[in-house]
Structure 1
Amino acid sequence: MALLLTVFFVLLLISVPVFVALGGASLAYTHFIGNLPDFVVLHRMVGGVDSFPLIAVPFFILAGNLMNSAGITNRIYDFATAAVGWLRGGLGHVNVAGSVIFAGMSGTAVADAGGLGTIEIKAMRDHGYPVEFAVGITAASSTIGPIIPPSLPMVIFGVMANVSIGQLFAAGFIPGLMMALCMMIYVTWYAHRHSIGRDARFRWGVLGRSFVRAVPALMTPVIIIGGMGTGAFTPTEGAIAACAWALFLGFVVYRTLSLRRFYQISLNTIETTASVLVIVAAASLFGWVLTVTQVTAQFTALLLTITDDPLMLLLIINIIILIVGCFMETIAAISILVPIFMPSVLAVGIDPVQFGVVMVLNLMIGLITPPVGMVLFVLSRVANLSIERTVKAAFPFLVPLLFVLVLISAIPGLTLYLPTLWYR
């Protein structure tokens, strides 16, 4: 156990890629301590990605890339502006509303920040908003992406924890809308405090025209969520349906995609998918070694000696995940932490679906906290702002996110109502 954990943390500290640290530590154990044949490593890694639900990973990534490249984000932004731009602090509300709509298409926070974020920050700058406020609300609203389905992190959690991905998707609706509501309340407060007015007049005609232009794009979450909710297809098949619809919009409806552009999108998708799956494969091996060495059993026993109260245990786990999320990429963190925490969670009766949403929201907060917040780095480049100023801009928006995290941790019904209604 000492060899396993020492090699893992040393490799992380010297900035070795996470999958190498996971695989290297596991190989050190199997070769030097476990006296197991080296082919066991390959067998366990291949077994880790030999899962039907993981087929959804490349398709959700491809769907998000296609949405960003097919002119869909502009239509979503125009519709959001017509719908909520008339409120005080209008473009701040537009930012949040646009992210809620885009969340039903992309499934990742980085895609939201890089796609809609470019449009939103430029528009807010042009309307005289402080650039820090524009960057902060864009960073915070992008975290809604993996909470409202579809969600790439929830797919990974479902595979690692053997939990229904459909139920995880259903569980994200209410928390995602709560996040949006809390952020819009914060925007309203900020607008009143800094005397920010409205950015658009409410006109039924403008709203109607923007809605008609956006209808094909808005059909994407309807197809995905409606299909899964009615049982027409599984989450994996929903990802394929999202790609087919995005291709139809890009090539036929909007005609904004070319074969050359589609080729580049496909290459980017392959690269991102490979990086995700190699982490999952290495983490599956690492999780197996943790089980063999009784690390998970001993950690569970340790936590249960501290408390067997579900709420208190969830509080402790929340703190640990928040800290880990500051230093580790989302997919890697899920792949590593799920095997460690799931025995404790199940032992005290916490529903794994609730825990999945809590973990994903925790790690989304990590995306806008230093030193490894990927959304911060994306928006720093988009806004041409130093990383220090970007971090400072995002800091106030941690308050509404942490507030929602506390609520869904303390009140299981917020996450379990829809899964119970639809699936149980």
Structure 2
Amino acid sequence: MITVLFILLFALLFLSSPVFISLSLSALLAFVLYTDMPLTVVAQRMFGGIDKFALMSIPFFILGANVMKVGGIARRILNWAYTLVGGLKGGLALTTEVACMFFGAVSGSSPATVVAIGGLMYPALKEKQYGGGFSVGLITASGSVALLIPPSISAIIYGAVTGVSVGALFMAGLGAGILYGIVYLLYCYWYARKAGVPVDKKASYAEKWRATKEASWALGIPAIIMGGIYLGIFTPTEASGIAAVYAIFVSMFIYKEMDLKSLFKTCIISAEATAQVMILLAAASVFGWILTVGQVPQSLAQFIIDSNFGPVAFLMMINIILVIAGMFIDGSSAIIIIAPLVYPIAMQLGINPVHLGVIMVANAAIGMFTPPFGLNLFVAQPATGESMVNIIKGVMPFVLISLVALLLITYLPDVSLIIPRMVYGPTV
């Protein structure tokens, strides 16, 4: 049954079927051919896959990200970041990465970050002599940090399929996301020195104060999300709703760049994006259940134990599998499929489940812009106007830089675990 299941899955993916159809149809056919249970079980499993409290936060975070993009919040974050680092060597590239980190902290969406920041920064990067390849690569890759910096939809999905605390995952993602961003910042600085990019004038203290004041309402969103969770005021799910309402209030009544008509359009777009995520989760739930019935997790765990893989080799194997998977399917899909298989094995090897989640999310982040099918590649095309060939050439150095960051996140677990251990205790 399992052999037929995977043959059907890869055949459908090869035929360019949507991922949710590939997962659900292959599982359905294997179910019909090899079991005598009623088909209603499939519907029950699909519903059960999305009937989880943690998943309620996804539509709110998606709505919040779209509101920020339309309501002027992204632009103010960008201006604020430029006053901080724009006067350094490679200042505009550093601004792009810093802005992506902060926008990721208020959106949780990598494609939304590329659209919001890329459309504004790409022409400026080319004008400042950074080169088209570097500029489009930076725009396409920098948005990936949004998957690590909380709130992260990928972290929510990992928590939903494994039962790990989403709050702890958010805390761990903060440390890992900062490390990931620092690696990018160092590369941007090195590139600017090598390419001889001219240095812009440093912003005055008055300009920094003015930009900070204008962006203060926007910067309040990550403070609300992380501060509320850190202090135990509300759960990550409740934080998502509060953040969305806050973003709408700021966009409509403080910045006044959003009216009811644009809010309605934003809600429609957000509902469509939410439906895409939820149907993917439902389909993956059925697929995962078929794997469990076929004893795949148990057999894989026994194979790894019999092979005497240690934690170091096991984590490297997971990274290799996920990097390859990220070339062909989106990171959330990869987490949904692979996490239930590797999670029990990791527990037997003594690997921290929160750290494992951060590693998987980091891989998902890299997969967002890894050729040939990384979603950010296709999002960056209309945002920059570049051809797909130029975009792929531009991102390749950033793929290598990201792999360096991934290895640091994988083998320096304290970077991820220091904050959740401060909040939840040493048992995390």
Q: TM-score range by the shorter chain?
A: over 0.9
Query: Structure 2: any 5+ residue segments left out of the alignment?
Result: none
Alpha-carbon distance in 2 for matches of 1:208, 1:99: 21
Alpha-carbon distance in 2 for matches of 1:12, 1:106: 29
Corresponding letter in the other structure for 1:123: A
C-alpha displacement of 1:103: 1.4
Write out per-residue CA displacement over residues 334-378 of structure 1, whole angstroms, 9 at most, x where no aligned residue.
111111111211111111110111011112111111111111111
Ranges of 4+ aligned residues in structure 1 off by more than 6 Å: none
Alpha-carbon distance in 2 for matches of 1:376, 1:348: 36
The residue that corresponds to 1:86 in the other structure is: 87
C-alpha displacement of 1:414: 1.4
Alpha-carbon distance in 1 for matches of 2:276, 2:412: 35
Residue 333 (structure 1) aligned with residue 334 (structure 2): yes
Corresponding letter in the other structure for 1:93: L
Q: Secondary structure at the match of 2:164?
A: coil
Q: Secondary structure at the match of 1:104?
A: helix
C-alpha displacement of 1:286: 0.8
Give the alignment's TM-score, normalised by structure 2. 0.97
C-alpha displacement of 1:127: 2.6
Q: Secondary structure at the match of 2:182?
A: helix
The residue that corresponds to 1:283 in the other structure is: 284
What are the within-5 Å matches in structure 2 for residues 345-360 of structure 1? 345-360=346-361
What are the within-5 Å matches in structure 2 for residues 1-400 of structure 1? 1-400=2-401
Alpha-carbon distance in 2 for matches of 1:239, 1:376: 27
Alpha-carbon distance in 2 for matches of 1:288, 1:347: 21
Alpha-carbon distance in 1 for matches of 2:255, 2:194: 41
Contact 1:90/1:197 (<8 A) preserved: no
C-alpha displacement of 1:29: 2.3
Deviates further, 143-152 or 298-307: 298-307
Contact 2:128/2:197 (<8 A) preserved: no
Alpha-carbon distance in 2 for matches of 1:6, 1:399: 31
Corresponding letter in the other structure for 1:313: F
Contact 2:109/2:147 (<8 A) preserved: yes
Alpha-carbon distance in 2 for matches of 1:398, 1:18: 23
Query: Structure 1: any 5+ residue segments left out of the alignment?
Result: none
Equivalenced residues, count: 424
Alpha-carbon distance in 2 for matches of 1:314, 1:304: 14
C-alpha displacement of 1:282: 0.8
Contact 2:141/2:376 (<8 A) preserved: no
Contact 2:113/2:143 (<8 A) preserved: yes
Contact 1:179/1:400 (<8 A) preserved: no
Give the alignment's TM-score, normalised by structure 1. 0.98
Write out per-residue CA displacement over residues 40-91 of structure 1, whole angstroms, 9 at most, x where no aligned residue.
0001111111111110010000000000000111111111111000001110
Alpha-carbon distance in 2 for matches of 1:321, 1:29: 25
Q: Secondary structure at the match of 1:201?
A: coil
Contact 2:107/2:113 (<8 A) preserved: yes
Write out per-residue CA displacement over residues 123-178 of structure 1, whole angstroms, 9 at most, x where no aligned residue.
21233331221111222221111101010110011001110000000001111111
Contact 1:103/1:144 (<8 A) preserved: yes
Alpha-carbon distance in 1 for matches of 2:77, 2:321: 36
Q: Secondary structure at the match of 1:249?
A: helix
Could you say what the CA RMSD is over the residues aligned between the two structures, in angstroms?
1.1
Q: Secondary structure at the match of 2:23?
A: helix
Alpha-carbon distance in 2 for matches of 1:7, 1:22: 9
Alpha-carbon distance in 1 for matches of 2:279, 2:407: 33
Corresponding letter in the other structure for 1:296: P
Alpha-carbon distance in 1 for matches of 2:199, 2:400: 24
